[in-house]
Chains A and B, each alone.
Chain A
Amino acid sequence: MTNNRIVDHPVLGRLADRKEITFTFDGTEYTGYEGDTVASALLAHGIRTLRVHEESKRPRSIYCNIGHCYECRVMVDDARGVRACLTPIKEGMVVSSGKGLPNPLDASIPPEELPRTYQEYEEQSKEGKGDTDA
């Protein structure tokens, strides 16, 4: 697990031994070190994708790594929308990736058939149209 760690550094010196901490991400167990954030511990394991975009479901990762951009939103224990880059890992922490949301405006529906009212949306949903797999 240390292959992405910068252990030896010509100026900063050798990485000090730190306490190991175990947490889970989307059900899989990972080990990081004391002082790691959720984002750094996962990247050390080569995991970049922290969430998918709510609408497009495209994968997203950290962008700024210092709390400014909110690109790294994950669920930590019961809290949603938590910034992975600011959250230190803790023993037994349960982290899950940010998920997509149902999107009534499924790209496969031709524009002229898109629902114009909420009622039409509900009718189309009953017919199984639209994208509901969050």
Chain B
Amino acid sequence: MHITRERLIVYGGVLFFALLPPVASFFGEHYLISLFTRAMIYALAAVSLDLLLGYGKMISLGHAAFVGIGAYVVGIMFFHAADDSLLFGFIGGSENALVVWPAAVLVSAMGALVIGALSLRTSGMHFIMITLAFAQMLFYFAVGLETYGGDDGLPMWNRNRLAGLDLADKLHFYYVCFFLMSVFIFCCTRLVRSRFGLVLRGASTNTRRIRALGVHDVSYKLVCFVIAGAGAGLAGALLANQSEFVSPGLLHWGLSGELMVMVLLGGLGTLFGPVLGAVLFLLLEEFLAIYTEHWMVYFGPVLIIVVLTTKRGIYGLLVGGGGNRGG
């Protein structure tokens, strides 16, 4: 098999993530395991956003909405399991990951279907504003959810249960996140090269032509929006478990912006780039924050330079020739 630079980097990345826990444990740096768990969860969300930004050319500033929905599904189900009450009077709570996580994905996807269907009636600047508006609406809705902690958020006393594993265990949870992130990215690499992906990329580069060829471009964009929302929902479910806490902050546009930064920094339209972006973002946040709480002041210029001087972010630089668009 021909080993391209891109393959090398991807295999290297997989190896890195797979070996990080034992190496970190060996050196006694256990906190790295949770740091990278968080990085992988953010990466999952950022990759899903890359589907929107890089492949669908849909500039959404409300992607956190779906992360938040996913997280709240987990939190609310936990809440009702804990005090043995019913949601809407008929849905029982659950702590079982095999129930709650798919539910989080499903509800996020349904949310994306509704928000996407309405937002895609517009385009360009209006699309950006309307996705932002929906996310902020959900944010304030969550703030108003007094039953579930409102402003203060909703604590979970323990993580979800997953048969045969102990998610409270750092290592178990790390590898579950690693597995889910990898599966999601692999599916995305297939997706962007599939018939759907090709039509989507066409629809996002030239609307006039794709319509003249017989394609209703909006349906393809909507399906992309729903898939991205589902991915973000999964990330939200994992994030809720990671921090054992759910709060309106997860729906805030600040998170949408951070995810967008991860995508741009790592490499727009590369799928693997956003993983790099997420890791770098969290590392910088972690270590620059030691020196100054205004770490964004230093990070901002770095981001601007990367975006202005590279075509496909840091991933594009590493791969050379601008990186992969799936073709």
Q: Does A associate with B in a complex?
A: no
Task: Give chain B's interface residues, CB within 8 Å of chain A.
Answer: none
